[in-house]
């Protein structure tokens, strides 16, 4: 009898192990070899804690106007944070041509993607229309071709082939395309036109863009002492606030994708130098895969992955690889229910929602 009991217990443990393995199965992370990215998997929530919302009988949303099943609403799906570097004349691994950037915006728009800010993503304040998918734009290094101002006949105008010029033109042509975009800059001369730094910063924040930290002079944070990490990050904040007093630099993109090692990683998130504090509620890595929904149990604002906005040498981690992936796997894609006060998900996603991140929003589960 005792032997039989042991066999039964063993069998149950085996089944539970198998189902846990199935829960955690997800798309392979095709990350480049980078010590920063070899971290332990996020902790799964304890079973039974996460799903307290009743499953709806019908498929309608709270207003009764949106058929959640028909639009395949999934606000626990993945979101692409696109990573651009230069916008230039010749396509290279870290350079996108102006025309290819225009193409990216067009393709995303046609496929139902709408631009949101990085802040709205991390704060789960996503306001795209029902049936659409949010995405985030990021630009590293504060290149001149990100934001270039030309002077013609004594008048200043935004270079139509720089990133800001292209986005502004696109928004004019497509008023429902959304807005946002974070420029991760370093010093001494972000965007490389010294006398125009303030003017550019003011334009950016007035038009829905953000300025992000990329260390003071693009230091490799993985190679610095902890005091020097804090100095490199706080000095960027100090310099930015000289132009924009009190500006909240809530985001950091790790230069070279490299952060302080081990427990010291926390200094990428928070720290202080000469009385200036920084508090990065978003820390972005170098690309390779889409990011989880801000409501997902795998969401980690200190380690956000990005997708490379490139078609060269992407080895399956570029923007078009992931667009194709979402076409083949529509269930993995974040699809909005159109209501920022609810998080609508199919029943199959219920165990992957982090209830602590709903922040007053109502979880709506449909069959």
| Footprint on this chain of Zn ion (rule: CB under 5 A) | 140-141, 255
Nearest to 27 by CA among 304, 285, 296, 325: 325
Taking CB atoms, the residue at the shortest distance from Zn ion is 140
- Say how far apart CA 233 and CA 355 lie, in whole Å: 32
Q: Tell me the closest approach of the beta carbon of residue 337 to Zn ion, in angstroms.
A: 36
Q: Tell me the closest approach of the beta carbon of residue 95 to Zn ion, in angstroms.
A: 13
- Say how far apart CA 351 and CA 26 lie, in whole Å: 14
- 36 forms bridges with which residues in the sheet? none
Give the nearer residue to Zn ion in terms of CB position, either 114 or 280: 280
Give the nearer residue to Zn ion in terms of CB position, either 255 or 260: 255
Q: Tell me the closest approach of the beta carbon of residue 232 to Zn ion, in angstroms.
A: 13
**203: exposed, middle or buried (C-beta count within 10 Å: 0-12, 13-18, 19+)?**
middle
Give the nearer residue to Zn ion in terms of CB position, either 104 or 140: 140
Give the nearer residue to Zn ion in terms of CB position, either 75 or 141: 141
- Say how far apart CA 35 and CA 262 lie, in whole Å: 10
Q: Tell me the closest approach of the beta carbon of residue 186 to Zn ion, in angstroms.
A: 7
Q: Tell me the closest approach of the beta carbon of residue 168 to Zn ion, in angstroms.
A: 23
Answer whether 333's CB lies under 8 Å from 74's CB: yes
CA dihedral sign of residues 235, 237, 239, 242: negative
Query: What is the C-alpha radius of gyration for the chain, rounded to an integer number of angstroms?
Result: 22
- DSSP H/E element including 124: none
Give the nearer residue to Zn ion in terms of CB position, either 141 or 337: 141
Q: Tell me the closest approach of the beta carbon of residue 214 to Zn ion, in angstroms.
A: 6
Q: Tell me the closest approach of the beta carbon of residue 37 to Zn ion, in angstroms.
A: 16
Cα 303–chain centre separation: 10
Phi, psi of 236 (to 5 degrees): -65, -45
Give the nearer residue to Zn ion in terms of CB position, either 253 or 344: 253
Answer whether 158's CB lies under 8 Å from 172's CB: no
Give the nearer residue to Zn ion in terms of CB position, either 94 or 320: 94
Give the nearer residue to Zn ion in terms of CB position, either 86 or 293: 86
Give the nearer residue to Zn ion in terms of CB position, either 72 or 218: 218
SS3 category, 10: helix
Tell me the DSSP string of 185-237: E-SS-GGG-GGGHHHHHHHHHHTT-EEEE--TT---GGGS-HHHHHHHHHHHH
Give, rounded to a whole angstrom, the gap between the first and last alpha carbons of the chain: 43
- Say how far apart CA 303 and CA 216 lie, in whole Å: 20
Q: Tell me the closest approach of the beta carbon of residue 254 to Zn ion, in angstroms.
A: 8
Q: Tell me the closest approach of the beta carbon of residue 220 to Zn ion, in angstroms.
A: 10
The torsion defined by the Cα of 146, 147, 150 and 156, in degrees rounded to 10, comes to 160
Give the nearer residue to Zn ion in terms of CB position, either 180 or 255: 255
Task: For the chain, give the number of residues.
Answer: 367
Q: Tell me the closest approach of the beta carbon of residue 85 to Zn ion, in angstroms.
A: 7
């Amino acid at each position: 009898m005792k032997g039989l009991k042991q066999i039964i217990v063993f069998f149950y443990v085996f089944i539970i192990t198998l189902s846990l393995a199935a829960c955690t199965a997800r798309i392979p992370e095709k990350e480049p070899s980078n010590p920063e990215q070899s971290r332990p998997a996020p902790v799964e929530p304890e079973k039974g804690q996460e799903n307290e919302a009743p499953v709806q009988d019908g498929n309608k949303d709270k207003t009764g106007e949106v058929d959640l099943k028909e639009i395949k609403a999934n606000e626990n799906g993945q979101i692409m944070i696109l990573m651009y570097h230069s916008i230039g004349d010749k396509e290279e691994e870290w350079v996108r041509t102006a025309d290819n950037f225009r193409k990216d915006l067009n393709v995303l728009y046609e496929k139902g993607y709408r631009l949101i800010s990085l802040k709205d993503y991390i704060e789960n304040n996503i306001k795209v229309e029902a049936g659409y998918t949010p995405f985030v734009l990021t630009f590293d290094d504060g290149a001149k071709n990100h934001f270039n101002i030309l002077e013609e006949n004594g008048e200043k105008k935004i270079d139509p082939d720089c990133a800001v010029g292209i986005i502004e033109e696109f928004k004019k042509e497509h008023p429902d395309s959304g807005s946002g975009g974070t420029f991760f800059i370093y010093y001494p001369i972000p965007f490389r036109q010294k006398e125009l730094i303030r003017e550019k910063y003011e334009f950016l924040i007035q038009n829905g863009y953000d300025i992000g930290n990329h260390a003071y002079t693009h230091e490799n944070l993985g190679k610095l002492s902890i005091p020097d990490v804090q100095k490199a990050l706080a000095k960027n904040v100090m310099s930015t606030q000289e132009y924009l007093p009190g500006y909240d630099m809530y985001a950091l993109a790790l230069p070279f994708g490299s952060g302080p090692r081990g427990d010291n990683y926390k200094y990428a998130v928070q720290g202080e130098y000469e009385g200036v504090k920084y508090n990065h509620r978003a820390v972005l890595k170098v690309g390779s895969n889409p990011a989880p929904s801000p409501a997902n149990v795998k969401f980690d604002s200190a380690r956000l992955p990005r997708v490379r906005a490139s078609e060269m040498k992407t080895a399956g981690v570029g923007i078009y690889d992931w667009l194709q992936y979402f076409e083949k796997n529509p269930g993995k894609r974040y699809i909005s229910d159109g209501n920022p006060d609810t998080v609508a998900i199919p029943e199959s996603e219920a165990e992957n929602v982090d209830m602590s991140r709903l922040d007053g929003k109502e979880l709506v589960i449909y069959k």
